[in-house]
Amino acid sequence: MAAERHSRETYFVVGEGALGAPSPAPGVAVAMSMETDLRAFRFSRIGPKAVRQLGEPGRRRLAEAMTIDADQAPRDSTIPAGFTYLGQFLDHDLTFDRSRLKDDGSVAVADLVQGRSPSLDLDSLYGLGPRRTPEFYAADKAHLKRGSTVRSFPQDGIADRPHPGFDLPRRSNRKALIPDLRNDENLAVGQTHNAFIRFHNRVVDRLKADGVPAADLFARARETVIRHYQWMIRTDFLPRIVKPQLVDDVFTNGRRVFEVNPAPGDSPTMPVEFSVAAYRLGHSMVRSTYDWNHVFDDGGGSLDLLFEFSGTSGTLGGDPRLPSNWIADFRRLYDFREAGRNDLRPIVRGRNRLNMARRLDTLLTDMLASLPDGSIGGPDPRAIRRNLAFRNLTRANMLKLATGQQMVALMRARGVTLTALTPAQIRDD
């Protein structure tokens, strides 16, 4: 999902400088100091710049067409809905800027460069580690801090008592005590981040029981968690959103378009065509309602409530921590039977409550036409600026992103077999 709560305004693109709001004019590069360069997340451009751009009236009309009430038509995919928010978690791991963790200027240049590297190293979970960012860690410097839910209204099961470990650790103002506050933007990604905290802590406990010295516990646990994480992305996440044969081809034959055969030690960059365009496929996967748990069943987990019961976009319903009746039932977000775990099948009264993500297409649920203040960095009186599709289109316009037809031509020139959509196919959906 989008960087900085859907509101990143500046991109430092290698070879082009800073593009965005601080420029003298939209899309005009400006010079940056060496320190600023290092503190900016390094983006790059794969293809050409767009020849023509869509003006604001056109972006407005297109965004409104993309955020119609798409839920009126059956749009479920075959992908369990949890992968929508796992994808958001991955995005925040790929685009996280470590330099923002500290305001005192104590972060080393080497860490800034490494922090900008779009590597799947879970820096959104670990920050700079227990020595440099101890605020995220327990006293033993091996476990991550965890939070507890608060008792909610009387209800059978989960709601009648606090549950340690089932909420993010929080400050007194409800804000999550985690390296990347975007992971508390909605309850689904927040519970996903919390699951990674629980997994890390479980790995620490297992290694400690196996006799690993205390001084080595964190490093060993982090390595184990990251390897599982990357294995999961390779074998489970990517083959669901990309044709499996394409995934296998890249891992077998290497890249043919982006940073082909990089020199050892080269710092990777994040292509704007991926960050600002391609990976936003996840927005179409978002449902307007979820069968969230046995308390909020039959669509009771609406998207607006998932925003409200977070610390970045909402108020946790007015509580200091997550109420216990909002703990995610992950059996409704992932089909654990795929891993042979029939004991973890959705346990419900009546029909199966497994939520499926919406299809990968050009439509977004109409609830994304009006994002809450916290998701866009603060109040905005212009209603269209709350529309996620409009924000995506405006950001692409700002960076002069190439059209799909331009990218097809580039791919074909690099030996990739692709066919561009015709104007009629685009017009007729």
- pLDDT per residue as tens digits for the range 314-327: 999 999 999 999 99
Among 132-141, 220-229, 419-428, whose mean pLDDT is lowest? Answer: 419-428
How many degrees, rounded to 5, is the angle at CA 364 between CA 168 and CA 19?
75
Q: For the domain made up of 57-385, give the CATH fold.
A: Myeloperoxidase, subunit C (1.10.640)
Q: What is the pLDDT of residue 41?
A: 56
Q: Name the more confident of 346 and 337.
A: 337
Instruction: Break the chain into its structural domains and give their ranges.
Output: 57-385
Taking the model in full, what pTM does it have? 0.86
* pLDDT (tens digit per residue) in 159-175: 788 999 999 999 999 99
Question: What is the average pLDDT across 357-377?
Answer: 89
Strand ranges inside 8-114, DSSP E? 10-13, 17-20, 42-44, 76-80
Strand ranges inside 140-244, DSSP E? 147-148, 164-167
Q: Which percentage of the chain shows pLDDT scores above 90?
A: 50
CB neighbours (10 Å) of residue 331?
A: 19
Q: In the structure, what pLDDT confidence band is assigned to residue 81 with cuts at 50, 70 and 90? A: very high
Q: What is the pLDDT of residue 429?
A: 66
Question: What is the average pLDDT across 280-296?
Answer: 92
Q: Name the more confident of 274 and 209.
A: 209
Strand partners of residue 54: none
Q: In the structure, what pLDDT confidence band is assigned to residue 109 with cuts at 50, 70 and 90? A: very low
Residue (of 181, 153, 155, 152) closest to 168 by Cα position: 181
Among 50-64, 115-129, 179-193, whose mean pLDDT is lowest? Answer: 115-129
Q: In the structure, what pLDDT confidence band is assigned to residue 216 with cuts at 50, 70 and 90? A: very high
* pLDDT (tens digit per residue) in 346-355: 554 445 588 9
Q: What is the mean pLDDT of the chain?
A: 83
Q: What is the pLDDT of residue 317?
A: 92
Alpha-carbon distance values, 371 to 163, 322, 383 (Å):
30, 21, 9
Q: In the structure, what pLDDT confidence band is assigned to residue 108 with cuts at 50, 70 and 90? A: very low
* Sign (positive or negative) of CA dihedral 318, 319, 325, 327: positive
Best-predicted range by mean pLDDT (150-159, 169-178, 272-281): 169-178
